[in-house]
């Protein structure tokens, strides 16, 4: 839906008034990219962190119930899995967020 010239003019007036009244807000709204800390960006990392913590808890329970040898094997598997996960996520995370 295209804007009429009057609507465009009114939007420019609103932008100019906003730039005068609150320049920080106007500057932040001028960037059309996604916000730097979107919750969607953190969700996969959160789920992987929860998975690693659950694996650690399982390892501790196995260590207490079945013996230290089984727990050591589970820990090695978890370390290997986390290394593969980090390699898989390396290209998908924004710069400075791991990898």
Q: Please list, in sequence order, all residues whose beta carbon lies within 8 angstroms of the beta carbon of residue 94, skipping any fewer than 6 positions away.
A: 36, 41
One digit per residue, pLDDT tens: the chain, 99 residues?
A: 678 889 889 988 988 888 888 888 877 777 655 555 555 555 677 787 788 788 878 877 777 777 777 777 778 788 878 877 766 565 555 555 554
Asked if 89 and 46 sit in the same domain, the reply is yes
Total domains in the chain come to 2
Q: How many residues does the chain have?
A: 99
| Structural domain includes residue 57 | yes
Confidence (pTM) = 0.34
Distance CA 65, CA 61 (A): 6
Q: Are residues 97 and 74 in the same domain?
A: yes
Say which residues have a Cβ less than 8 Å from residue 26's Cβ, sequence separation at least 6. Answer: 15, 18, 19
Is residue 36 in some structural domain?
A: no
- Domain span at 19: 1-31
- Does residue 57 sit in the same domain as residue 96? yes
In a domain, 61, yes or no: yes
Q: Are 99 and 62 in the same domain? A: yes
């Amino acid at each position: 839906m295209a804007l009429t010239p009057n609507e465009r003019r009114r939007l420019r007036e609103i932008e100019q008034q906003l730039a005068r009244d609150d320049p920080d807000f106007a500057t932040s709204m001028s960037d059309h990219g996604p916000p730097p800390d979107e919750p969607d960006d953190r969700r996969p990392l959160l789920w992987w962190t929860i998975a690693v913590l659950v694996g650690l808890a399982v390892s501790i329970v196995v260590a207490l119930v079945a013996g230290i040898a089984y727990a050591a094997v589970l820990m090695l598997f978890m370390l290997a899995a986390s290394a593969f996960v980090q390699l898989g996520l390396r290209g998908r995370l924004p710069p400075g967020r791991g990898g």
